[in-house]
Each structure stands twice: as structure tokens, then as C-alpha cells.
Amino acid sequence: MTLGRQLALGVSALFFAALVGVQWIHLRSAQASLQQQLEALAQDAATSIGLSLGNTMRENDRALIETVINPAFDRGHYQRIEYFSAAGDLLASRTLPPQEGRYPGWFVTLFPLHGPTAQSLVSAGWRQLGRVQVTAHPKFAYEQLWATARDTLLYLALIYVAAMLALRFFLRGILRPLAEVERAAQAMSARHFVRLKIRPRTRELARVVEAMNALSLKVNEVIEGEAHRAEHLLNAAYRDEVTGLLNGRGFAARFESAYEGARGAFDGTLAFIDLADLAAISREIGAGRCDALLRGLSGQIGELAAAHGGFAGRWTGALTVLALPKLGADAARDRLAALRERLSSALRDAGLPQLDHVYCGAVIAHGAPATLRQLIRAAEEALLRAHESEEDIAVLAAGDLQGLYPAGRADLLELVREALGARRVLLAGQGAYRMSDHRPLHTEIMARLRAGDGEEVTAAEFLPVVVAHGLAEALDRAVIGRVLEAARGRRGESISVNVSIRSAEQAPFVEWLAGELGRDQALARRLVFEISEHGVAQNEAAAGDFAGRLARCGARFAIDHFGVQKDSLARMQHLRPAYLKLAATHTPNLLFDTGARFFAESLIRAARQLDIPVIAQNVEDDQMFQALVPLGFTGYQGNLMSPPVPWPR
């Protein structure tokens, strides 16, 4: 119960008790006053009748007695009026039968009034003739007391309601800063270190707000410092310091994270740009001017890559590589020819007309998947042909190079559609384990498809078709449906499932998933849905909305293949995933590359401040595991403990 409600209930109870006490005291006082009035009424009536009879009667006259008694009795205030002779004989009597007044029976029990009896002697001179005895009736006193109680209760109830309304507004104003403090405390417990903008008028709350703001400021400074350090180390390890582009290692990591493994294959143009006379340029204009010129030329190359949703890197000293997704052969030739002309023009403008030799070699990747190594080999072949060509440009299609791609199936698209329609989805699971004691953290689910003839098709084969033909949502629905069916019989096991950003962008898919999770809250709490950092970077807003919807359903959100995109640390702070899986391309570098190790340590420290575990991937042997231990990883995943096995077992 909130403090506001406790205060309201406490004050309300005290005020209610005070009002009940006031009502009780008031009614008891009125009861005593009315009892005295009844006694006075009875005595006055007896005295008055006695005097009247004494003045008019010399002997006991029954008719005269009744004539005096009847008018007094008829007023209705008396229960009984009796006249007794001096010898004690009853000569006259009037009695009122019991009557119900306008008041409830329980009220009579709670506030009893008794009809008092008074008497007066009747004398003629010095001789006593008899006595008059009068008993008052409490009916009218009860009616007056009941009316008093009812009216007083109404007034007190109105006072009580008005006081409670005033109390509510008073407490709301007093406790509003406390509600802000509570929300900030809850945010801090979730590692959202917000700052309070309120200024409470109460001294104690003001000091609490100042302390919380100071804490948030310090923690945010630590997190930002670690994030900047990690970004700096990432740039140092994966960016070329002269041009600002990715270096060869960074380009390979970005490409493999986005287009290899369980993700969709690269479909587009991979190109090399070769400044053939870079050494001569450096000798001609000096190293400093050469670096400045190279930065300008690389900037134009990077702009072309960014304009087509790709990226560029400095592969070697004079060689720059570009990944241009979705760019076909004709468009690639046009773009590269225009780029080559701009670069040559820049060299001529720098006073180097004799050294404006720029060559472009590109390979078009389309259809079957190819690794970066295969594409680089093809692009190198294209660059050699460009050097021999009069146009200084060579663009090769995949079919121009024998053995570039593995033989594929011509009917793969139809197979994928048929397998998804028939729900012929096979699941495999690979465990992630705690670094300290090798206890299981969760099981990551991977998918394969089974053809009609029983042949299994791996993700590396069918994912390019799925991505190219917009079947990502259908695949995710099929896989998640199978996982939910199987997981209901495996209590306690935490399960992670990969989801495409294309599915997370679709409202019908999100609503369907929310509905499925809503049917079993216990199961939802065991599920984690992973999106690759490459996908998150494509639509961070959709990823954030998806993560929020999962949280409301009880499930969690995580980022896979993390640490190769620009602004990775800022993305981590914004989305606050349940955990991060470091991109598999980083893991081998952690064995021998000091810069990569420093980057991993800084990333882990920044994530730890936000209570976000970091898991290493592709841990294949004990040597690699031992190299990861000092870095502070929470967990690891790879063939060291368990290769993917059919799931559920």
C-alpha cells in the first residue's frame, strides 16, 4: 500500500473516530437533558393537578377528579395519571396504551429513556383528601432525540466528506515529489539513472532528491566514460586512423556480422578502389599532404557506400573496399565510373595529373551465398582485369568466376515455401553457459528446414532466399510456433530465439507473438528474443518498441552479434537488453590482439554498470576459454561445451 493511502486511511480513521466521539457525547448529553425534562414534566403535571383538585374539591368527587385529570391526559405526554384516596383506594385512572414513535427500535436500546413517575398530595384546608400520581411518556423525548441524532449525523457526514476531499488534495500536493522520487528509484533499480527536476519544499525530501541526483550524475559519468573509452578502443582496433574508414579487420567484422552465419547472405556489389600510384603521390607532395588528400578521397568513397546503405574500409594502403547492398551490375558500373572520375579529378586538382590512375574492380553477389573471402578473391580478380582494361573498370558477375559459389538448388525458393507451409521446421539447440561455473544460462534455438524427400536444408542455404523474397516473418512464425509447443513440456529451461528485424517491424507479427506469450505467462518469462545488432541498427525505433512489448508480456529482449556497428555503446544504453552477445568475429582476436582485449574489457565494464551481462560466442576450445576468463565475460557459447544438437531431446 502506498504511503499516501496509508496516511489517508490513518487520518481518515482518526477523524472518523473523533466525529463518532463527538456524536456520541452530544447524544448522551441530549439524552440526559431529555430525561431531566421528562422528570420535570411529570412533577409539574402532578403538582398542577393536585392544586387544581385541592382548590375545587372538599370531598372526593369521582366526576370532578376525572374532569380535572382528562384535559391534562389528553395532551398525550403522559403514560398514566392516577388518583388515590387517603386510604389508598384508586378513584380515577387514565392510561395510554403502548405506541410506536418515529424512531427505530435499536435506537431505544442504545439510548434508553424511562418514563419518570411523580406525585402530589391533594388537601382541603388541613385535611388530606388523596394523592395524584403522574407517569410521563418518553415517546416524544425519543422522537426529539432521534431527530437530533439524525440532523447531527448529516452535518458531521458533510464535514467528514469535505475534510477527506481537502485531505486528498493536501496529500497529493505534499506527496507528489515523493511519487517522483519513487519513479526515479524504480528507474535506478532498472539501471536507468535519471535526474529529478523537482524541488520539494520539505527539507527531508529536498535532501533525498539532491542525493539521488548526485548519485545519478556520478554513475552516468562512469558509464559515459566507459562507453567513450570502449568506443575509442573500438575505433582504434577497427578503424583506419588516417582515413576514418573501417580498417581491413573492421570491414571484415562488419561484413561477417551482417551477412554471414545465420544471417541473410550479401546481395549486391563488393568493389575494390585502387589508387595505383599512392607511394609516388606521397613522395611528390609529402606524407602530411598525402594523408590529407587520402582523407578527402576516402570521404567520397564512404559517401557513396553510405548512400547505398553499405559501408567502406581501407583494405590496404592504396586499396579501399566497398560493400554496396542491392546494387546490380549496370548500376554498379555507373556508380563506380562516376566515383572514379571524381577521384581522378581530385588528384588532378591537387596538381598530380600524371598520377591520377584509379582502378575499380567489382563482383556482383546474387543468388547463392558467398563468404567474404570468396568475394574478396573475386574482387581481386576483377581488379586485375581493370588494370588490363582501357576503361580501368571491371565488373564481374558471380557466374564469371568458376567455383566462387557452392552449387545450389534451383528449386530452393519453392522448397522453402513448401517447408514453411507444411511446418517442416527442424530445431537445434546450443547452450550458453556461465563463465564461473559452467552452469547453463539458456539454450539458443537454431532452425533447419526439411524437404519433401527428407533432405535437411541448413540456415546458411535457405536464409538468403528467405531474406530476398520477404519470407522472414513466415519463418519466424514457424520457428517460434514450434519452440512454444516444445517448450511447454520443458519446465525451468531458459530459451533464446532469433528474430529478424523485418518481423519486428510488422505490427501483425508483434500482435501475434504478444497473443501467444499472453496465453502462458510462466513460459513467456523463460523466453528471450534476440535481434542482431545489424538489424537493430537498421531500425532502432522498431527494435525498441519490440523490446517494450516483450517486456509487457513477461519475455525479454537481447542483442546478438554486438560490437561491430557504429554507436554500439549508445545503442546498449538506450535499449537496455537482457544480455549482449559479442560478435563472433571478435572472439579469435581476443587471443592475440591487445586492442581487441581492451575494447572487450571496456565494453564489459560499461555493460556491468547497467547490469547487462556480456556473452562471448564461438568459444571453440579451452585455450580460447582461458583467454576470455580474465576479461570479465558473464558467459560463453560455442562448441567447447556443446555443439548444436536436435531440440528438444
Inform me whether the pLDDT recorded for 506 exceeds 70.
Answer: yes
The residues, any chain, with a CB within 8 Å of residue 56's CB and separated by 6 or more, are 64, 68
CA 44 to chain centre: 81
Query: Does residue 157 sit in helix, strand or coil?
Result: helix
Q: Do 273 and 317 touch, CB atoms closer than 8 A?
A: no
pLDDT at 402: 47
Instruction: Say which range, 313-322, 368-377, 436-445, has the weakest mean pLDDT.
Output: 368-377
Instruction: Tell me the C-alpha distance between 272 and 336, whole Å.
Output: 10
| pTM assigned to the model | 0.64
Higher pLDDT, 25 or 205: 25
pLDDT at 435: 92
- DSSP line for 27-96: HHHHHHHHHHHHHHHHHHHHHHHHHHHHHH-SS--HHHHHHHHHHHHTTS-EEEEEEEETTS-EEEEEEP
Number of helical (H) and strand (E) elements in the chain, helices listed first: 22, 20
Query: Residue-wise over 395-430: b if at least 16 C-beta within 10 A, else e?
Result: bbbbeebeebbeeebeebeebbeebbeeebbbbbbb
Higher pLDDT, 40 or 262: 40
pLDDT at 249: 83
pLDDT at 369: 66
CA angle (329 as vertex; 325, 335 as ends), nearest 5: 75
Inform me whether the pLDDT recorded for 174 exceeds 80.
Answer: no
Cell 573496399, residue? 321
Three cell numbers written together for 15: 477523524
165-191 average pLDDT score? 77
Inform me whether the pLDDT recorded for 281 exceeds 60.
Answer: yes
pLDDT at 614: 95
Q: Do 616 and 636 touch, CB atoms closer than 8 A?
A: yes
Inform me whether the pLDDT recorded for 191 exceeds 80.
Answer: no
Name the average pLDDT for the chain: 85
In which band, very low, low, confident or very high, does the pLDDT at 317 lie, cut at 50, 70 and 90? confident
Inform me whether the pLDDT recorded for 410 exceeds 60.
Answer: no
Phi and psi at residue 644, to the nearest 5°: -60, 135
- Within 424-484, strands assigned E span 425-434, 440-450, 456-457
Inform me whether the pLDDT recorded for 611 exceeds 90.
Answer: no
For residue 600, count CB atoms less than 10 angstroms from its CB and return exposed for 0-12, middle for 13-18, buried for 19 or more: buried
Instruction: Say which range, 37-46, 258-267, 468-477, 573-582, has the weakest mean pLDDT.
Output: 258-267
Sheet (strand 393-397) strand order: 246-247, 311-314, 319-325, 268-275, 358-365, 393-397
List the beta bridge partners of residue 616: 636
DSSP state of 406: -
Instruction: Tell me the C-alpha distance between 493 and 647, whole Å.
Output: 12
For the segment 543-594, what is each residue's pLDDT rounded down to a tens digit?
Answer: 999 999 999 999 999 999 898 877 777 788 888 899 999 988 888 888 888 8
pLDDT at 229: 73
Inform me whether the pLDDT recorded for 224 exceeds 50.
Answer: yes
- DSSP line for 475-487: HHHHHHHHHHHHH
List the beta bridge partners of residue 312: 322
Inform me whether the pLDDT recorded for 58 exceeds 80.
Answer: no
Three cell numbers written together for 300: 567520397
| Measured CA distances, 43 to 116, 117, 499 (Å) | 9, 8, 98
457-473 average pLDDT score? 79
- Which of 476, 634, 572, 635 minimizes the C-alpha distance to 230? 572
Higher pLDDT, 73 or 225: 73
In which band, very low, low, confident or very high, does the pLDDT at 263 lie, cut at 50, 70 and 90? low
Domains by residue range for the chain, with CATH? 3-95+110-161 (3.30.450), 243-400 (3.30.70.270), 412-646 (3.20.20.450)
pLDDT at 59: 81
As a whole number of Å, the CA-based R_g of the chain is: 47
Instruction: Tell me the C-alpha distance between 460 and 246, whole Å.
Output: 26
Sheet (strand 78-85) strand order: 90-95, 78-85, 127-136, 117-124
Rounded-to-5 percentages of helix, strand, coil across the chain: 55, 20, 25
Q: Do 93 and 83 touch, CB atoms closer than 8 A?
A: yes
Inform me whether the pLDDT recorded for 508 exceeds 90.
Answer: yes
Instruction: Say which range, 139-148, 221-230, 400-409, has the weakest mean pLDDT.
Output: 400-409
- Reported as type and span, the H/E element at residue 229 is helix 203-238
Higher pLDDT, 185 or 481: 481
Three cell numbers written together for 232: 575509442
First CA to last CA distance, the chain = 46
For the segment 23-51, what is each residue's pLDDT rounded down to a tens digit?
Answer: 899 999 998 998 999 899 889 988 988 88
Three cell numbers written together for 410: 534451383
Instruction: Tell me the C-alpha distance between 184 and 178, whole Å.
Output: 10
